[in-house]
Amino acid sequence: MTVDVYDRTSIAYDGRWGNYYLLDELNGFLSHVKDGSRILDAGCGHGRDLVFFGRKGFIPTGIDLSDAMLQTCRKKISISAVSAYLLAADMRILPFTSGSFSGVWCCGSFVHIPPDQHLATLRGFRVVLRREGVLWISIRNLYFPLEHRKVQLFGRGLPYRRQKYGGYIDSKGRYIVCVDRGYLQRLLRTAKFKVIRINEDNEWLNAMSIAK
Ligand SMILES: C[S@@+](CC[C@H](N)C(=O)[O-])C[C@H]1O[C@@H](n2cnc3c(N)ncnc32)[C@H](O)[C@@H]1O
């Protein structure tokens, strides 16, 4: 259902978010990744960050489940003339061997993964990362007042930890999960990451961690 929404709205999505670079976060992430090494962009969508990594001399691989987003991404790669790998794949079942990447970047996509699959997905990220590799991941902040209200309105009842599937369906029809800092920290630690920092704003939690 969520992926269908992206299939229908990829061009509009790119129009809205195509130049929305999280520069502090991107540069912070890259400062932990060895120059020229391989980066996985999990849920790369339209490819803004994938191309950013390519322009900086890294070797990016993007995966996504939406054909239309991948098509938009492919065009962007060819216009910008960077080299990047792109494939249709689910971040929950990664088709890569262990230690394939020095960095995993997961921007705005993990929000669509149901909580009962969070840990397995992060463990998969850990497997494809080298030791000391870096994971950057963003997820919706439960305490963003608006999100909190939406969870109350559309979720199946708080507290979200007791829900089999937390979150809510947004106005576009996407399934969105919100968590809090403590939950994200515990999740990352359990998946064998050392949390370096979690930047929190009203809407998002942006976590940087290192593979142990
Ligand atoms: C909000 S967009 C984020 C796109 C891009 N990373 C960005 O920051 O603009 C979420 C993307 O996650 C993709 N997605 C959702 N579930 C996925 C999954 N299980 N595996 C891979 N991609 C997924 C969607 O198709 C969509 O392109």
Asked whether residue 116 is assigned to any structural domain, the reply reads yes
pLDDT of residue 162: 38
Instruction: Report the domain count for the chain.
Output: 1
Q: 57 with 36: CB under 8 angstroms? A: yes
Indicate the pLDDT class of residue 175, thresholds 50, 70 and 90. confident
Q: Which residues touch 206 (CB under 8 Å, ≥6 apart)?
A: 22, 25, 136, 137, 138, 198, 199, 200
What's the mean pLDDT in 147-172? 56
155: in domain: no
List the Cα angle 14/73/94 in 5-degree steps.
Answer: 120
Residue 32, domain extent: 2-141+180-211
182 CA distance to ligand 1 middle (Å): 24
Mutation to probe ligand 1, out of 29, 112, 113, 203 (largest number of atoms < 8 A from CB): 112
pLDDT range class, residue 111, cuts 50, 70, 90 = very high
pLDDT band at 58 (very low <50, low <70, confident <90, very high): very high
Q: For residue 91, report the distance from its CA to the centre of ligand 1, in Å.
A: 9
148 belongs to a structural domain: no
Please state the rounded mean pLDDT for residues 169-198.
Answer: 90
Ligand 1 centroid from CA 108, angstroms:
7
| C-alpha to C-alpha distance for 121 and 63, rounded to whole angstroms | 14
Residue 202 lies in a domain: yes
Cβ(136)–Cβ(196) below 8 Å: no
Q: Mapping DSSP to helix (H, G, I), strand (E, B) and coil, where does residue 13 land? A: helix
Report the pLDDT averaged over residues 169-195: 90
- Is 86 a member of any domain? yes
Say how far apart CA 62 and CA 74 lie, in whole Å. Answer: 10
- Residue with CA at minimum distance from ligand 1 atom 4: 45
Is residue 24 very low, low, confident or very high in pLDDT (cuts 50, 70, 90)? Answer: very high
Answer yes or no: is 163 within a domain.
no
Q: Is the pTM of this model over 0.85?
A: yes
CB atoms within 10 A of CB 90: 16
With the most atoms of ligand 1 within 8 angstroms of its CB, the residue from 109, 113, 125, 204 to mutate is: 109
Write down the pLDDT at residue 166.
59
The CATH number linked to 105 is 3.40.50.150
Check residues 190 and 142 and name the one with the higher pLDDT.
Answer: 190
What pLDDT score was predicted for residue 194?
A: 98
pLDDT band at 159 (very low <50, low <70, confident <90, very high): very low
Average pLDDT, the chain: 90
Task: Summarize pLDDT for 121-139 with one digit per residue, the tens.
Answer: 999 999 999 999 999 999 9
Within a domain: 37: yes
Residue 202's SS3 state is coil
Task: Tell me the CA–centroid distance for residue 47 and ligand 1, in Å.
Answer: 10
**pLDDT value of residue 179:** 86
pLDDT band at 197 (very low <50, low <70, confident <90, very high): very high
Domain-embedded: residue 77: yes
DSSP notation for 86-122? EEE--TTS--S-TT-EEEEEE-S-GGGS-GGGHHHHH
Say if CB 105 and CB 125 are below 8 A apart: no
- Residues of the chain with pLDDT > 90, as a percent, come to 75
Q: For position 20, what pLDDT does the model report?
A: 95
Pocket of ligand 1 (CB under 6 A): 2-3, 6, 17, 43-45, 48-49, 63-66, 69, 90-92, 107-109, 112
